[in-house]
Each structure stands twice: as C-alpha cells, then as structure tokens.
Amino acid sequence: MPDQIPFSFDVATVTDITNQIKKVLESNFRDVLVEGEISNVNQSRNGHYYFTVKDDNAQLPCVVWRSTAQRMDVELSDGQQVVLGGDIQVYAPHGRYQMIVSLVQQAGVGRLQQKFEELKAKLQKEGLFDDAHKKPLPAFPQHIGVITSSTGAAFHDIRSTFEQRWPLATLYLHHASVQGLNSAGELVEAINTMQTQPNIDVLIIGRGGGSLEDLWPFNEEKVARAIYDCTIPVISAVGHEVDFSISDFVADSRAATPTQAAMIAAPDINDLRMQIDDYTMGIESFLKTKIEKYKEYVYRLGHSHALLKVQDRLIHLRNRVTSLREKMQHRQQSMLLNRRSRFNDLVYKLEKHNPNEPLERGFARVWQGKKWVQSKAAADKDQGIRIEWKDGSMEIN
C-alpha cells in the first residue's frame, strides 16, 4: 500500500489498550458479589481452582488461589449455586478478565428454590422417584448405619430413640458435614463407604432442621444419585416437617425428623411384647374353647345309642374272651396234672427197674470179673469174687 498516508498521532499498542482496560476494570470492580452456577471446575497441580460462574445469558471466568481455598475449606464442584465475592482482574497475556474469588457462599433462597424445582423435574423424569425402585425396610434390623454430623443433635436423638424402643440394634455412625459447600461430597463418600460395611440392614441419612440454604446439601444431584444407587435401604431424615428435599423423594422411605426415622427403621420392643402377650392369651383362649368343645363332643359320643351298642358288643366279647381264657387255663391245669401223674408213674416204674435199688436197701451184689453172679449155680468156685455194696466193694480170692 505505497500511497497510504501515515497517522499523524501515536497509535496505542495492545499492551497500552489492555493496561487501560485493566486499570478501569480493576479500579471499579473491587469487592463485588455475583451469583450463579459453577461449571467446568478444574484444580491445578498447585492447588488453585479454575472454573466458570454462569447464568442463562453470560459467564464469568473465576480463580480461587490455593491459599484462599485452604482458608475457606471449600470443595467446589459443577452445578453448585453460589454467591461469589472478590475482585475483577484483567489477565493481560490472554487478554481476558476474570474474578479472583475470596468468598464462596450458598446462593439465596429464590435461586435455590428454582434450582430445586429444576432438579426435581429432571430426576422425576428419569424415574428416580418411582415406587418401583423403593427397597422395603427390614422388619427387625440388627445393624443400622447413620450418616450425619457426629457433633449434631440428630445422632443423639436417633440413639436415644433406639435405646428406648429397640435396644437390640447396633448403631454405626459415619460422620459427614450436613451443611456447607463440602457436605454434599462428604455425604456421597459416607454412603459409598457404608455400602462396603458388612451386615448393615438399613441406612439413616439426615440432620436436624434448618433453612433452605442449610438443608441444601440434601438437594444436590450427586447426593440424590448416591442414595438411588445405594444397595442398602435408605431412610431420608432431613429435619423439616412440611417441605421435602430431593433426598426425601429418592430415598426408600422418608422421615420428617431423625427421631421419626428411628421409629420407622425398627419396631417398638414394648409393642412386640404386648403383641406376644395378646397372641399368647388368644392361643390359650382358643385352645380352651376347642378343648371344651371336643370334651362335649366326646361326652355326646359316649352317650350315643350307637356307641352304647358298640360298648355292649365289646362287653360281650370281653366276657367271651374271659370265659375262653378260664377254660383254657382249666384245660392247661388238667393236662398238667395228668402229665405230672404219668410222670410220677414213670418215675416209680423206673425206680422199680433200677438195678441199684437193692443196694440202696442194704443188699449186696456178687461179681466174678465183669459177670454179675445172680445164683449159686452161676458161680465159678475156682475164681475169686468181688462183693459190691452201695458204699463200695471188696475182693475175696
């Protein structure tokens, strides 16, 4: 462009313009407050937080330096509705402005209520509130997990209620902040940790009452999804009588207060004792009625004509059996006497034919060798004899 006419005044550099903008912005936007939704949260290796705060029509880059984050003890995550305080700063190398955040608070009631309704509609559309997903509570739980602040009154109320109503249960407390920007993350971590513990029958999660801002962690989407995905039946016990939290809609059961959660989680042992007494008395009364009924029935049967005929027949048969038994016994006695008499006769005859019987009466027997000499003619005068008595014998040659 050889025929171009040079400017007759100085032209500002990019640095000059940027420094002017920086001076205007940084001098006029100090200690400002802005409300919006956090998105694109990123924490650098150095511990600094970089994110964007936005509404429906605009967005503002933000930075929280590590020292500030440590001092505030906050955990930033996408979706939080917050009020930020700080200074607007221009970062010249990138030609962009950003907010250096020194204050983070929960957003106001109006915006929180709007966000509540939006999240409620979203989760309801996804089916997270459907009754089909609700898990039944155990009838007689033995191990009960409680997620709440260890320093709050909620756990004291839950524990004292169980001591009075269901002392058989063992409580397991997992501390989690129930208020502030960090509490949602702690609640999610506690829910996930409780699921790894053995034998937990039911889980109570909640806190005492408070404002919408105080109760907001129980309206966070990540808390709702953690409750929905929990394998243990969950009772939401966020302490407010009238309004519901998102946790209430997602949980398997909802209690208006921590005390009511303990009452829902387990029966009253005194009620069970009374029920057992009622059942015992009912069974006794039923059995007494049945016994009286059957006693009357047996009495009627015992005096019925048919049974009397059977009884007569039994008596007749019994008498016949008795008569037959007597006849049999008589025959047995007669047979025994006859056989005893015959036996005695046989014994007598045997005794008569006993060759030793004369010896018993004092007679003697003469032997020659093995021959019994029964007459003089049978004796051999040349052979010696042996005389036998009952008590011995003697040889004579």
Q: Which CATH class is domain 113-131+141-267?
A: alpha beta
**pLDDT for residue 241:** 57
Element (H, E) at 309: helix 305-352
Contact (CB, 8 A) for 25 and 13: no
Mean pLDDT for 340-367 is 78
pLDDT of residue 150: 93
pLDDT digits (tens, 9 = 90+) for 154-213: 999 999 999 999 999 999 999 999 988 889 999 999 999 999 998 999 999 999 887 778
Query: According to the model, what pLDDT value does residue 330 have?
Result: 85
Q: Give me the pLDDT at residue 326, please.
A: 87
Per residue in 42-82, pLDDT tens? 999 999 999 999 988 999 999 999 999 888 887 888 888 88
Average pLDDT over residues 266-281: 92
Pairing, β 253-254 against β 234-238: parallel
Domain boundaries, the chain: 14-107, 113-131+141-267, 357-396
Q: Which CATH architecture has domain 14-107?
A: Beta Barrel (2.40)
pLDDT band of residue 267 (cuts 50, 70, 90) is: very high
pLDDT tens digits, one per residue of 82-133: 899 999 999 989 889 999 999 988 777 777 888 888 899 999 999 999 999 9
In the prediction, which pLDDT does 9 show? 66
CB of 191 within 8 A of CB of 147?
yes
Question: What does the pLDDT average to over 359-368?
Answer: 79
Per-residue pLDDT, averaged over 330-356, amounts to: 80
Task: Judge whether 141 and 265 are in contact, CB under 8 Å.
Answer: yes
| Gap between the Cα atoms of 245 and 237, Å rounded | 10
Q: Tell me how far apart the alpha carbons of residues 235 and 210 are, in angstroms, rounded to a whole number.
A: 19
Is the pLDDT at 239 greater than 80, yes or no? no
